[in-house]
Amino acid sequence: MSHHLDSPLARQDPRLDISDVYIFRGGSGTVFIMNVNPLSGSGGFHPEGRYEFRIDTDGDAIENRTYVVTFRDPEPDGDQAFEVRRLDGADARDRTAPGVVVGQGRTGREIRGADGTRIWAGPAADPFYINGTVVGAVKHAVANGTPFEPSAVDYSTSANLFAGTNVCAIVMEVPDQAFDTSEIGFWGTTALATDAGGWGQVNRCATPLVNTIFNPDDSQRADDYNTTHPSHDRMVHGPLVAHLVAKVVTAMGTSDDPAAHAQRVADALFPDILRYRLGTTADFGFAGRNGRGLTECVPEVMFSLVLNRAVPLGIDARSAAGVPGADFPYLAPAV
């Protein structure tokens, strides 16, 4: 899995569980996608939650702009009214700030903001694909510091763990001129109103599989990861990731200097933000990462980075639940 149901807190209400985020070049600007409510997409979006697109424009891993999407209760037909607000500067980090309304509409329909932003929300086929046997074996190797051997995987039964499943998606396409910079960083968060007042962060997501690989999904560690901020990643999560990577590559014999390799991995992953050069083709690849498209085989990239060896997945984008389209909102219809 990428970040599907990746912590106890996220599993309390899948509507607030971010399975994946994406950022890439669209037909008229930069596309941001947040997928939540994985495995079925049933129940829509949480009417008491916040879906936050956090954007760093100056490279310090702190958001300078946040787009906040909120939903109303579902209608009898399942549609939901929603609103998008933009918060800039210090307000981007303040969940009490009102922001400026970008657009309002209903799920399943494209809306356009006054600034040219296109927005769509609703059920869609899950574009993420992964071999459950492979990810399980990799997680076991990393957690226990034991070797992972592709030869032990029965690739004759390879299948996408999320074939035929849906998500609830929020898609925004923002004109490039909306950003006074050539490169941005992006991550998504969800938050829920608390009984004591204010907001509690439930989930965050940027680089695929980080929480899944390094933190057991039934652990407090997984919750802690989801509720922290990228600017703290190197200090809070970096040492553990480096320790786990050093142990597993030592066991596998895939590095002459496990400690140095482990530090390179931690530095590559943290802060956990998707960096993207505006106007370019997204490429989440072995040689480098620039945003993330909808069809890239990101598990192979992540497993190779961590284990320092090629890890075949045994499936490709043809195994995904649907085929993404070339036009807005880009995601395949729900299956």
Residue with tokens 């918060």: 87
Nearest by Cα to 189 from 48, 11, 4, 53: 53
Please give the Cα distance from 109 to 42 (Å, whole number): 18
Strands (E), the chain: 18-25, 30-36, 49-56, 65-71, 81-88, 100-106, 111-112, 118-125, 166-174, 183-193, 199-205, 274-277, 283-284, 289-290
Number of domains in the chain: 1
Q: What is the largest CA-CA distance in the chain?
A: 61
Domain assignment present for 329: no
**Full domain range(s) for residue 180:** 8-319
Is residue 332 a part of any domain in this protein?
A: no
How confident is the model at residue 11, as a pLDDT?
73
Cβ atoms within 10 Å of 144's Cβ, excluding its own: 12
Answer yes or no: is 327 within a domain.
no
How sure is the predictor about 119, in pLDDT bands with cuts at 50, 70 and 90? very high
Query: Cα 245 to the chain's mean position, in Å?
Result: 22
Q: Does some domain include residue 185?
A: yes
The full DSSP string for 227-278 is TS-GGGHHHHTHHHHHHHHHHHHHHHT--SSHHHHHHHHHHHH-S--EEEET
- State mean pLDDT over 312-319: 95
Write down the pLDDT at residue 98. 96
Place of tokens 């032990």: 152
The percentage of residues in the chain with a pLDDT greater than 70, rounded to a whole number, is: 97
Rounded average pLDDT over 323-333: 96
Determine the number of helices (DSSP H) and then strands (DSSP E) in the chain.
8, 14
Token pair, residue 58, equals 């100056």
Query: CA–CA separation, 293 vs 78, rounded Å?
Result: 29
pLDDT tens, residue by residue, 243-302: 999 999 999 999 999 999 999 999 999 999 999 999 999 999 999 999 999 999 999 999
Q: Does residue 328 lie in a domain region? A: no
Name the more confident of 41 and 238.
238
pLDDT at 2: 56
Residues 6+ apart with CB under 8 A from 177: none
Query: Do the bridges between strand 289-290 and strand 18-25 make them parallel or antiparallel, or are there none, so unpaired?
Result: unpaired
Quick one: pLDDT at residue 16? 95
Residue 330 domain-assigned (yes or no)? no
Residue 223 lies in a domain: yes
Average pLDDT, the chain: 94
Give the residue from 216, 243, 234, 245 showing the smallest Cα distance to 303.
Answer: 245
Structure tokens at 256: 């002459």
Q: Supply the pLDDT for residue 216.
A: 87
Q: For residue 200, which phi and psi values (nearest 5 degrees)?
A: -115, 125
- 1 in any annotated domain: no
- Would the pLDDT of 153 be above 70? yes
Whole-model pTM: value is 0.96
The pLDDT tens digits for 182-235 are 999 999 999 998 878 889 999 999 999 999 999 988 788 988 999 999 999 999
